[in-house]
Structure 1
Amino acid sequence: MQQQTELNDLELFPDGVRQVACGNCLREARDRLGFRFSMAFQPIVDVARGSVYAYEALVRGPDGEPAGSVLSKVNDGNRYYFDQAARVTAIRLASRLGIESHLSINFMPNAVYRPAACIRATMEAADIYGIDPSKLIFEVTEAEQISDRNHLRAIFDEYHERGLKCAIDDYGEGFAGLNHLIELEPDLVKIDLNLVRGVDSHPGRQAVIRSTALMCEEMGITLVAEGVETRAEYETLREFGITLFQGYWFAKPAFEALPEPRLP
């Protein structure tokens, strides 16, 4: 049973950092953001084990509207409150839906002003809603322009110290490439869907993904192929030793629900 707790809108911690308390993150979203949102969930399938490795929480409007309808309202003035509220919303819904696998949450590194302070609400939410923190994965897209890569490394280091996993999303699309793998040492890397699309008939994409799979194996990084939409794409990628997959061929995202995935 979930704990019930009453928390002030803002707590003043000993280090002087004012932090949104997780019990009020949803109210913060309403009062400070001026808009509501929810989440859809899409599975990441482990084909070697025939099970769901994780569910990714994907932001949606309050009635299931596309992510763009929500993200277009995020700006410099409300980014911190949105990022905090999105984490708590994902954890709250995951608990309600009974997710026992990993839970993957997208986050905005530019909203994290001090890693040790900004993770407190997330850890508190995990405790309140009975989610094991070691099951949490935090994804950052490689395409997001990070002005201070040392700051992102500090975030990853703080999360790793707390037993959380970190992932680079959309690998192969962004500006950093190999530097991100070397400098950030992520636990997981998700291959950009534009590399996956039509990979079964594209030798160039096959070569890039094959070399990425080998490199990640040697570095101890788990590789995920996302955006898989056809059996041919899946079978080609499976030949490269990839075992974690995400995409419409396995299951489409379900709004505030867990879709039943295809398990090859």
Structure 2
Amino acid sequence: MNKVKSVMQWGKIILPLSSIRYYPPQFTLRNPLIEGVTNAFDAGHEVAVIVFKLSNQKDVIEQAETQQQHSKMLKNMKKLFQIVVEQEVNPKEFITLHDYYGEGITLLITVDHDRHSISNIDIIMKKISNEVAQRFMKLYSSVYPTFEAGYMFVDKYEYSIQDSILKAHRQAIGIAEKREQLEINEMLFAINKIITKKAITLLAQPIIDVATNEIRAWELLTRGPKGTALEAPLQLFSVARQTSRLYELEMIVLEKMFQQVKASRCRQDIFVNCTPLTLGNIRFTSDLKMLLQKYRGISPRKITFEVTERDSIEGLKNFAFNINVLRLMGFKIAVDDTGAGYASLNTISELMPDIIKIDRSVIENIDKNSVKESMLKGLLLIAKEAGSLVVAEGIENQEEASVLTRNNVDLAQGNFYARPAMFFNEIATR
């Protein structure tokens, strides 16, 4: 389908002062869009067409549980554009604001070269994008929308003003998409560089025996290159997944783990996250055996693979087979993020894990919430039935820790006990 829908179709036009009108298929010269551009040209001005495209639409969609909620979110976003544009753009320079059926939000403004420069338009685009994103975050705190913007000037010498507007709009969309593509290309370059150079860092956070307050194990946490857009694990692994480099990245994490365990002569157990996609890869067990041969002396019984519970294990045909092989090799299996994500009870019943890690969402403020404590007790009963140890994650204060003590939780982890730090440094000081 043509990316630019003709303004000859029904099109929503958002006018100043919150006036919303709909125009029929045949625009006439009294159309405010044509009139506004014509008046700007007659006054000796130029007209800029600015397009704002939502670049992380998938993230926004995933926050909506129903199509109705998604539609409401997008409507609210359009309203925010209307409000912000009225604040940021001089009414004398404003022509109109369009919604081209999902092709982004299009703003037309007059430009006086005596008072404006190209950088002025860039500033306007950034101000509007940032302000809309911040206001949207206040409505929906779980997602921060990001926009790519492009602009083009309407050619005043075209025979048809309407055709000239359409051409400028199409070009502005192209520029916005190229900016978005440029960011994607930069991300591709960055993840390829990380994998080629194995440029990741492993931090360690202790897992504490609640009864004795002794360190029983360490969870190793992955970070990308410091100070980059991929330093945080969420961005790092999401980009790797979307660029088909996830398996390579996770195998680098495992190799770094073996290197550091061997070098530090760590005596405690090690926990490491692994996605179901990697655990279900047909190459995984053979590649893991090669790592064990390369780093001899490390017992598989010291290693626990945390299966992140937010991902589904359905449809991964090699997953169950690989889990069985890992157990035969001596590795332990933990279900991570229990209580926070996808089908946790089903995952536990399928895996019968050695360890169940209870998510921070259950633990947070548990000392003030009797329902959460009841949830904890329920998960402890499930763990007992499955023969699993329990690790409570994300402990932030003494009050939360005391709830774990009175409920006889086995193990705990969180900043209350220790923040993640460089693995060698932590091992050396214990």
> TM-score category by the smaller chain?
0.7 to 0.9
User: What is residue 368 of structure 2 aligned with on the other side?
Assistant: 201
For residues 46 and 127 of structure 1, what CA distance do their matches in structure 2 show? 31
SS of the equivalent of 1:124 reads: helix
Which one-letter code corresponds to 1:123 in the other structure?
K
SS of the equivalent of 2:426 reads: coil
Aligned with residue 54 of structure 1, among 217, 223, 227: 217
1:243 maps to 2:410: yes
Deviation at 1:206, TM superposition (A): 0.4
Deviation at 1:125, TM superposition (A): 2.4
User: What is residue 106 of structure 1 aligned with on the other side?
Assistant: 273
The aligned runs of 1:123-134 (5 Å cut-off) are 123-129=289-295, 130-134=297-301
Deviation at 1:243, TM superposition (A): 2.2
Deviation at 1:148, TM superposition (A): 1.7
User: What is residue 342 of structure 2 aligned with on the other side?
Assistant: 175
SS of the equivalent of 2:240 reads: coil
Change (3 A) 1:173 1:113: closer
User: What is residue 11 of structure 2 aligned with on the other side?
Assistant: none
The aligned runs of 1:2-21 (5 Å cut-off) are none
For residues 335 and 302 of structure 2, what CA distance do their matches in structure 1 show? 16
Answer whether contact 1:45 1:245 (CA < 8 A) is retained.
Answer: yes
More moved, 82-91 vs 186-195: 82-91
Answer whether contact 1:41 1:258 (CA < 8 A) is retained.
Answer: no
Aligned with residue 353 of structure 2, among 186, 193, 198: 186
Answer whether contact 1:172 1:191 (CA < 8 A) is retained.
Answer: yes
User: What is residue 41 of structure 1 aligned with on the other side?
Assistant: 204
Gaps of 5+ in 2: 1-191
Aligned with residue 89 of structure 1, among 236, 240, 256: 256
Deviation readout 1:177-233 (Å, 9 max, x if unpaired): 221111111110100101000000101100000111122123211110010011110
For residues 242 and 73 of structure 1, what CA distance do their matches in structure 2 show? 36
User: What is residue 329 of structure 2 aligned with on the other side?
Assistant: 162
Which one-letter code corresponds to 1:173 in the other structure?
A
Answer whether contact 1:141 1:169 (CA < 8 A) is retained.
Answer: yes
User: What is residue 67 of structure 1 aligned with on the other side?
Assistant: 233
User: What is residue 26 of structure 1 aligned with on the other side?
Assistant: none
Answer whether contact 1:123 1:133 (CA < 8 A) is retained.
Answer: no
User: What is residue 60 of structure 2 aligned with on the other side?
Assistant: none
Aligned with residue 398 of structure 2, among 220, 231, 235: 231
Which one-letter code corresponds to 1:135 in the other structure?
K
SS of the equivalent of 1:42 reads: strand
Larger radius of gyration: 2
**Identical-pair percentage:** 27
For residues 221 and 233 of structure 1, what CA distance do their matches in structure 2 show? 22
TM-score under structure 2 length normalisation: 0.50
TM-score under structure 1 length normalisation: 0.79
For residues 88 and 216 of structure 1, what CA distance do their matches in structure 2 show? 31
Aligned with residue 245 of structure 2, among 71, 78, 83: 78
Deviation readout 1:209-264 (Å, 9 max, x if unpaired): 0111122123211110010011110111111110200000011000243538xx9x
More moved, 74-83 vs 202-211: 74-83
Deviation at 1:111, TM superposition (A): 2.7
Answer whether contact 2:285 2:322 (CA < 8 A) is retained.
Answer: no
Deviation at 1:32, TM superposition (A): 5.5
> For this pair of structures, how many residues does the alignment match?
232
1:146 maps to 2:313: yes
For residues 132 and 113 of structure 1, what CA distance do their matches in structure 2 show? 22
Which one-letter code corresponds to 2:202 in the other structure?
M
More moved, 175-184 vs 202-211: 175-184
1:218 maps to 2:381: no
Deviation at 1:83, TM superposition (A): 1.6
Higher helix share: 2
Which one-letter code corresponds to 2:287 in the other structure?
A
For residues 255 and 69 of structure 1, what CA distance do their matches in structure 2 show? 20
For residues 221 and 205 of structure 2, what CA distance do their matches in structure 1 show? 8
Deviation at 1:113, TM superposition (A): 5.0
For residues 231 and 237 of structure 1, what CA distance do their matches in structure 2 show? 10
Change (3 A) 1:236 1:73: same
Deviation readout 1:143-200 (Å, 9 max, x if unpaired): 1133426543223212111111000000001121221111111110100101000000
